[in-house]
């Protein structure tokens, strides 16, 4: 924890950064951001229409800003607040779906990831049934024998 630098609750970001922060929060939920997760984030940023106009070369910078915010004492709370404030209602379900895509990278859904997903769902104000449908769809897409 970085006690010398307080969390900046006035941080504002655009919707691209908010979606990336969402994926990073899930990746970092177990205190370690794996290379496979970062590659998957890059793939999503390059592929999905919601990232049209985003310069993928900025991805490492956005990730560093998110990591710096997470490192503070109340970092998780601050990041979730920044995400919720930056995302239009129209993109909140998208953010939740992208979060599950990152959680599914290793085909394990650990306690930490599950808790982050609950916090994210609550902070984004998503209906429980919609959230369950998004989760189930992601699990179905990533199920292996």
The domain that holds 72 is classified in CATH as 1.10.3680
Total domains in the fold of the chain: 1
The structure tokens 């953010």 sit at: 95
Range(s) of the domain holding residue 79: 15-142
**Residue where the block lists tokens 């990746």:** 27
The per-residue pLDDT for 107 is 65
In this prediction the pTM is: 0.87
Compute the distance between CA of residue 81 and CA of residue 66 in angstroms, rounded to an integer.
12
Is residue 8 in some structural domain? no
pLDDT score at 90 = 96
Residues 41/26, Cβ–Cβ less than 8 Å: no
pLDDT in tens, 61-115: 999 999 999 988 888 899 999 999 999 999 999 999 999 999 888 766 677 778 8
Asked whether residue 76 is domain-assigned, the answer is yes
């Amino acid at each position: 924890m970085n006690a010398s630098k307080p969390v900046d609750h006035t941080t504002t970001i655009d919707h691209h950064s908010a979606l990336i922060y969402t994926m990073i929060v899930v990746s970092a939920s177990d205190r370690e951001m794996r290379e496979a997760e970062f590659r998957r984030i890059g793939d999503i940023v390059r592929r999905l229409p919601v990232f049209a106009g985003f310069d993928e070369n900025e991805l490492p910078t956005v990730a560093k800003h998110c990591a710096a915010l997470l490192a503070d004492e109340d970092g998780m709370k601050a990041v979730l607040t920044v995400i919720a404030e930056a995302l239009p209602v129209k993109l909140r379900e998208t953010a939740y779906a992208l979060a599950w895509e990152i959680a599914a990278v290793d085909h394990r859904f650990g306690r930490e990831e599950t808790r982050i997903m609950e916090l994210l769902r609550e902070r984004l104000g998503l209906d429980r049934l919609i959230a369950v449908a998004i989760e189930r769809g992601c699990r179905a897409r990533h199920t292996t024998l």
